[in-house]
Amino acid sequence: MTIGSKIAWDDTVLPFQLDRADVRGRVVRLDGALDRMLRQHDYPPVVTALVAEAALLTALIGQTIKLRWRLSLQIQGNGPVRMIATDYYAPTDSGDPARIRAYAYFDEEALDPAATPLAQVGEGYFAIVLDQGTGMVPYQGITPISGSSLSHCAETYFAQSEQLPTRFQVFFGEVREGDGAPEWRGAGVMLQHMPKASPHATGEGGSGEGGLLAAGDILSGDDQENWNRANILLDTVEALELIGPEVQPTDVLVRLFHEEAPRVYDPQPVTFGCSCSAEKVRTSLSIYPAEEIATMVTPEGVVTADCQFCGAHYEFDPATLGSDADA
């Protein structure tokens, strides 16, 4: 589709709160960051859809983590798409942009173009990993692959693991500015009911797929009515409102939720970023003895490695690698 110019909100996450509904949320727009993640790999369409959705979910979820922490999504299955991995690196210092990256591993010959993107994953799990830094044990929460999209998997994760009713609405596609080359752009909204001291859910299973918890198992009374109303309003949002240049995210919130008393907070800029480095690759190869390093040498006499996230290419002298290098 053809859409006009970019706006200042591109590559930004905007947190907000709906005071009357007791709901918090975020609006995300990914422009250059999403285009970088997708363009360098040239994925098949069904894989592109999964990576784009995962990246948008990661930005929406990751905005809340503390400085220097990392949040990752890991989706693994037994279908043609074996793995999707994303990382959201919180800013090192306040005011700096967060960094995001994404990658998919898949069997292209086994893909079914007629099947839905999530069907390509098959049976497996959806995990969120929170790394708080050196000396801390990463937290990992896991739920089974369920529903019809990665967004539904994320909603199930929050209901099951955190007992927080959560809703995602995401859109993405290739857009063209005038006569320029097409670029990927994505946007989305996340709603989440504010935590309660004593969740309504019991330990007897839920009404979701496979007995997993759903929002109706957690909320009751006014909370459930407020949550349902916010979701009905979110259902009216259109792709062009979020992806296009005509409506600012703040205006979208007013249009959708003006009766819920929306309140916005400081936006968080996001950029594509990778944590790979020659030193990290060298460290990962340090566990191998010299004889195994020798099997990795190319005809040119070097050992090479490529980052699957950013495409960086590294070359090493085999004599400087492996567990015997410093001996």
Handedness of CA 307, 273, 103, 162 (dihedral sign): positive
Q: What is the pLDDT of residue 213?
A: 66
CA 190 to chain centre: 12
Q: Average pLDDT of 244-254? A: 88
pLDDT the model gives residue 256: 95
- 12-272 falls under which CATH superfamily? Hsp33 domain (3.55.30.10)
Q: Is 142 exposed, middle or buried (0-12, 13-18, 19+ CB in 10 A)?
A: middle
Asked if residue 110 lies in contact with residue 61, where contact means CB atoms within 8 angstroms, the answer is no
Strand 303-306 and strand 313-316: the pairing is: antiparallel
pLDDT tens digits along 93-152 = 988 999 999 999 999 999 998 899 999 999 999 999 999 988 888 899 999 999 999 999
Residue 134 tokens, joined: 């050196």
Q: What percent of the chain has pLDDT over 90?
A: 59
Tokens of 257: 């939720």
125, 145 Cβ separation under 8 angstroms: yes
pLDDT in tens, 42-51: 899 999 999 9
Distance CA 59, CA 190 (A): 10
pLDDT digits (tens, 9 = 90+) for 78-87: 999 999 999 9
Q: Average the pLDDT over each of 47-56, 99-108, 317-326 and give the range with the smallest value.
A: 317-326
Q: Given pLDDT bands bounded at 50, 70 and 90, which one contains residue 207?
A: low
Residues belonging to the chain: 327
CB 229 within 8 Å of CB 206: no
**Residue 120: per-residue pLDDT:** 97
Q: How far apart are the first and last CA of the chain?
A: 59
Residue 2 has pLDDT above 60, yes or no: no
Question: Tokens standing for 40?
Answer: 């360098």
Range list for CATH 3.55.30.10 in the chain:
12-272
Least confident of 3-12, 198-207, 277-286, 316-325: 198-207
What are the backbone dihedrals phi and psi of residue 233, each rounded to the nearest 5 degrees, phi first? -65, -40
**More confident of the two residues 7 and 314:** 314
